[in-house]
Structure 1
């Protein structure tokens, strides 16, 4: 995985208001944070769930932010697909995948089987009544074409570059004027999410497919794979993205009417 920049960690920390929504669905007294990263989730759990222990796992411990490591009882070097290798059944009550499953997919040669393996691994270590909480990218159920109009016409080149550089799947894009491109909604979501991170983080973000499933596909996938009960779900545009994107682009539907930006995230809670 590419080195994590300071700006990246700052932006991850800025999503704390988004992440805090997961905390209220935690069950039991021990939580496993899969993919510690900036460590902001451990900090939030410590602040809002007093007495709950937080254990972290990360494949690249050296990238974990040291300033938040004190909020974890332990941080273990471990692949998300092999949690049972170092964590016993029932040792944790809740497993959280916060913006991790799309990385499991992207950094394992765009393998959906790798995602399934991570989910099975989590299922295998939680007790009956335990929960798996997922926060990650999401595709829209509808995938009709939209037009992205850039306030800086030079940014059309960024969209074309993204189309050429994105390897997870083929991106459809048509340049329709000197300041606009047309794309299917889910391709637009992938581009716009990468676009918000800026050039400093482009090389990492363009390697990652953020949205793996639509809400219906996500729910069906987890239910069919693990037989878990759905507790709740919600999909939304991550806080701050609308404000940030509105300064740079406008989005139009195929009839030429101004339309909303596609949802970027989904929150799902399942119980065993």
Structure 2
């Protein structure tokens, strides 16, 4: 629940500043449109999706491994002109073509292997592996060790704190069997393009994995009696059902793609191997592309577990974001069980009765009032940047479940990105929000220097869960000067004393944080609302890449509520 502050000024920017920023944003939008006009929308979308998982500082150097024709690499250089991107591919012809077609001040291409052996170690801020690692696996005659070696060499290229982005496919458990049901449509011929899907599946079961030793290719497939008229039913390993469903409609590339195997690691394998490299696995999750699912999966087949349970559409890819950490830095934080040690807690649980319904509920409260602040600045080219606390240890994100099932498969390391928090008693101590008191507050609690004549600005108030949590979190904004570096947090509010991880305060572009929230990298809905509130407070507008049409329906009013009761 959100409550807007009544005493906030309409905008912290002058009309002149606001117009300059909006004009600059319009110019950048027109420039971006002109540059990307000839690039397919799917490529642009993939470029945005990839960059949204990388919260990069200005000047960061990114390597796009296996850049192919260079189109997505180019699109990323346009979407974020403040970083440098190098596309690497072993195909010399593709690289030369990319160099001719795509020229940008922050973009270059080079011929090379995806291991990056020819590059300088500890020199790059991010490495992108977008549908590359399964190619490494396939060209090495389906050798998982080749993938491990590739990731190991790539990690040597990253600076400490650098990020590796992986987008590929995660294999179902290798021993798991499934049943697939498809329409019984007759084939038009014996060519791949003329086969029905059931006949193509049978052909695929006999010819899969052609790079294997003679006599070891293919996979188990059993046709079962049909359950319904005009259908066919097959039992096979889940991995190979997934392989077939991903490729069945791409008949033009079938022959060349036959030797490529998309899945090689399970989700568990990916996470284990990355942690073996000393990586903090910030985020991992299966991903469902809505358009691909609708076009190739929905209504085309039914997939069942071996026990007969109906399964949903398989993921269209798998995402992993791993950060290279220095020695003795935490990789994963989880909460396994309540501590048995007696200790003082800031949390209090009280039972309260609803006067009207008689229902009793447990209400959670704590012995302090929390405030959160978004320090911000506007760059010369009109971008809104904010300062956030990165790496806050939140074990509750990985609390050990007592029952249930992780329905979306998303996992985080437990190191969160949050606004800078403080005890509201600090606000009471400073008295009036004037320039002098604001500067003292920023020095003592933020370690930042306010801009000229800047004062604390009250933003929205947030009620996490009015029915069960007796808490109001106040939000404040403060315009500050750029630091060009990470700084240590001044206070330890909200930390668990058992964790040594304290994180850092980073300067990040606000739009990039919104994008990261949209793709799931940052699981913080409150932060999203706070940033959008800041945009509104400044009279600016954020981009929205995930906008969908909402079907609104009219309905008759059946009852009226008293607004005083709701509040």
Which residue pairs with 1:75 in the alignment?
109
Which residue pairs with 2:358 in the alignment?
none
The answer to whether 1:17 aligns with 2:75 is no
Which residue pairs with 1:263 in the alignment?
315
Which residue pairs with 2:287 in the alignment?
236
Structure 2 CA distance, aligned partners of 1:240 and 1:247?
10
> Shift in Å at residue 246 of structure 1?
3.6
Structural RMSD (CA): 2.6
The answer to whether 1:149 aligns with 2:182 is yes
| Equivalent position SS for 1:179 | strand
> Shift in Å at residue 181 of structure 1?
2.3
Structure 2 CA distance, aligned partners of 1:53 and 1:111?
33
> Shift in Å at residue 116 of structure 1?
1.4
- For residues 78-135 of structure 1, the C-alpha deviation after alignment (integer angstroms, 9 at most, x for no partner) is 1113x132x1124321011000000011012112121112111111111101111100
Structure 1 CA distance, aligned partners of 2:93 and 2:290?
28
Structure 1 CA distance, aligned partners of 2:77 and 2:264?
30
| Equivalent position SS for 2:152 | helix
CA contact (8 A) 1:30 1:53 kept: yes
Label 1:164 to 1:39 Cα distance change in 2 as closer, same or farther (>3 A): same
Which residue pairs with 1:194 in the alignment?
247
Which residue pairs with 2:474 in the alignment?
none
More moved, 183-192 vs 234-243: 234-243
Structure 2 CA distance, aligned partners of 1:13 and 1:164?
37
- For residues 162-216 of structure 1, the C-alpha deviation after alignment (integer angstroms, 9 at most, x for no partner) is 11121166422222356332222221110111113x2210012221111111111
Which residue pairs with 1:43 in the alignment?
74
Which residue pairs with 1:208 in the alignment?
260
CA contact (8 A) 2:180 2:234 kept: yes
> Shift in Å at residue 265 of structure 1?
1.1
- For residues 125-153 of structure 1, the C-alpha deviation after alignment (integer angstroms, 9 at most, x for no partner) is 11101111100011235833121313634
CA contact (8 A) 1:151 1:248 kept: no
Instruction: Report the TM-score when normalising by structure 2.
Output: 0.42
Structure 2 CA distance, aligned partners of 1:63 and 1:110?
25
Label 1:50 to 1:221 Cα distance change in 2 as closer, same or farther (>3 A): same
Which residue pairs with 1:122 in the alignment?
154
> Shift in Å at residue 31 of structure 1?
0.6
| Aligned match for 1:134, one of 166, 189, 203 | 166
Bigger CA radius of gyration: 2
CA contact (8 A) 2:297 2:313 kept: no
The answer to whether 1:104 aligns with 2:175 is no
Structure 2 CA distance, aligned partners of 1:166 and 1:31?
35
| Equivalent position SS for 1:193 | helix
| Equivalent position SS for 2:182 | strand
Which residue pairs with 1:59 in the alignment?
90
| Aligned match for 1:159, one of 201, 208, 219 | 201
Equivalent residue pairs, number: 258
Label 1:170 to 1:227 Cα distance change in 2 as closer, same or farther (>3 A): farther
More helix per residue: 1 or 2?
Answer: 1
